[in-house]
Amino acid sequence: MEQINREFKAVVQDMTHVYIGAQMSVSELISYEDVPFKVKAVFNKYFGKAEDKERKIGDLVGSVKKDNFTYQVIKQLKIKFKVGTYTVKNGSETYRSKTLTFDEFLDLHSSDEKYFDEELVFNKLALLAFST
C-alpha cells in the first residue's frame, strides 16, 4: 500500500483538466509549483485550517458534509474523483480505477467498501468560471 501512496502525490495538467494526487497534503499542494494558483487559493481558503494542512486531500474532501458551504464550492467546481477499488475474482484480488462525481465519492467514503483515493480532477473551464 505504501507504493501506491507515493504514486498519487503528483500534479499533471492537460488542455482541459488538472489532476491532483489525492495522497498529497494541503501543505504539499500549496507548496507545489505546478499547481494553478486558483486551485491553491480554493484549498487555502476552504481547507486551510492549521489542523487540516497535513491531512491527505482525499480524506479531507471525503469528510465534507452536504450542509457545509465547502460542499457547494466543490459541486460548483465540478471536481471528479478517481478512486481505485479492489475486487476479488476467481480467488485473486484485482485493482481497478473508476471516476466518481462528488456525491458518489462522499457515499463511498461513508461506506465500508475497500477503495483507495487516487486523484481529484479539476475541469479548467469550471476553474476559470469560479471566483473565490
* pTM of the shown model: 0.85
**pLDDT-based confidence at 1, cuts 50/70/90?**
very low
- What proportion of the chain, given as a percentage, has pLDDT over 90? 64
Q: Contact, 99 vs 127, CB < 8 A? A: no
How many angstroms separate the CA atoms of 116 and 3, rounded? 12
Residue 3 φ/ψ region, left for φ over 0, alpha for ψ in the -120 to 50 degree band, beta for the rest: alpha
Q: What is the pLDDT of residue 71?
A: 94
How many angstroms separate the CA atoms of 117 and 130, rounded? 25
Tell me the domains of the chain and their CATH numbers. Answer: 2-129 (3.30.465.10)
**Cα four-point dihedral sign 52, 58, 63, 66:** positive
pLDDT(132) > 80? no
**pLDDT-based confidence at 6, cuts 50/70/90?**
low
Residue-wise pLDDT for 41-89, tens only, equals 999 998 888 888 899 999 999 999 999 999 999 999 999 999 998 888 8
